[in-house]
Amino acid sequence: MVSKSRVDIKSRGKRFLKKVYYAFLELLLRAGANRLVFILSEMTIDRLQSETDAGVFWLRSRDAINGTTVLPDMNHDLRTRFCSRPFEWLEIGAKDLHLCCSAWLPTPIGSSDDPVAAWSGESAEKIRRSILDKSFRYCSRLYCPYIVKGTLPFDNGVVPQTSARPRIINLSYDFSCNLSCPSCRTRPFVANSAERAGLDNYYSSKVAPLLSSGSVVNVTGSGDPFASKHFRSVLRDLAARHGVMIDLQTNGNLFDRRAWEDLSLSGSVRRVRVSLDAATEHTYSYVRRGGRFARVLENLAFLMTLRASGQIDFLGIDVVLQARNIDEVPGIIEMARTIGVDKIRFNTIRNWGTYSAKEFQKESIHSAMHGNRARFEEVYRSGIFSDPIVDQGNIRQAIGLYSSNIDDDHDVGHA
């Protein structure tokens, strides 16, 4: 067994090397080695996407390459802004807790073992103070769509009070899913009976005490709510609770009329988002591996009847933008219009550990170093993302740098 002291030494060593690395990037940037800093920071992000500091250096070097002023303080555009999420929002993962989507604010506030203590703990308060002091130091400048789009609300000067429990809870602790999308996982996973018993106990002992009238619960950011027997049980419980509303994130394959009725969801669901990622069966079969394109379209038609009748307040489509689907973007948007959804949201692909660095470079067409980056720019500049039905998510950050501004010898081998 590795001793705690050895673990602490290793952790301190990593923190020291990290400080040295970013000090080195700062020296390079001040010396005018902008392209080198850009390449190094992008390579860091590709491997460790939770590195918010690397994102700051990416932005600063990008601005320098584009000929704009390199600002030592990247928070200049956030000094008048505010975000309410850390004061009312809790994501419950399998291991850690976060005060926002962990993809946007990767610093955890504690272990999932004790959500109540972590919610009011010092780590949570540090993150909240970073919103109030306008540093937003824990937030990702690359992946938070509200920062990227400049849509964070202006600060009205009223200091928010943190409630005793979160108002919005995102359940992301069961990875059960009927699909194995390459951008998310390497194989399907469904919790077995013993694992489900543990999940059921966790929900009743740790999650349920956080709920009250007025709570909003999102299911799920970790898999699919209808492929998980545990989350199906949770949905039944939530639907029976007075004043609790449900938001759903799903791949849509199993969300049909039967699921709606079996789980007694009528009157309890607020918003639904369906991940699609393709406009054709051929592409869908790859990017949504294990799913059936025709079934999703059929279920979307059913969900539109719920939207049209006012049984849900919002129906959206989510798209992970990648090399595999860049040519289908016009078709995906046209499909969203035809179906009649409220919004279609695009976000850039991320590496959740399912790709090697080389594999991810081939898929991340938004990267300035991608061999076919020009196609991404062409699609973006066609104006199609300006359609009112489109939510540009975090893709606008990627368009801020043109591949022509990066030396050809820095391309990292895209075929």
Cβ 251 vs Cβ 140: under 8 Å: no
- CATH value at residue 389: 3.20.20
Give the residue from 65, 91, 117 where a domain finishes: 65
**Quick one: 237 and 356 in the same domain?**
yes
User: CA 45, 46, 49 angle in degrees (round to 5)?
Assistant: 50
- Is residue 355 one of the residues assigned to a domain? yes
Q: Assess if residue 103 is contained within a domain.
A: no
Decide if 126 is inside a domain.
no
Is there a single domain that holds both residue 194 and residue 51? no
pLDDT, residue 70, reads 45
Q: Residue 50 has what pLDDT?
A: 81
| Domain membership of residue 383 as a residue range | 167-410
Contacts of 297 (CB under 8 A, 6+ apart): 339
d(C-alpha 14, C-alpha 6), whole Å: 12
93 belongs to a structural domain: no
Nearest-angstrom CA–CA distance, 89 and 170: 8
Residue at a domain's end among 50, 65, 80: 65
Tell me: do 339 and 212 sit in the same domain: yes
Q: What is the pTM of this model?
A: 0.89
Within a domain: residue 393? Answer: yes
On whether residue 91 sits in a domain, the answer given is no
Q: Which residues of the chain have pLDDT under 70?
A: 1-9, 68-76, 400-415
Structural domain includes residue 298: yes
Domain count for the chain, please give it: 2
Residue 216 lies in a domain: yes
In degrees rounded to 5, what are phi and psi of residue 187?
Answer: -155, 160
- Rounded to the nearest 10 degrees, what angle do helices 4-30 and 52-65 cross at? 10
Residues 171 and 49 in one domain: no
Judgement on whether residues 51 and 183 belong to the same structural domain of the protein: no
338 and 222 together in one domain: yes
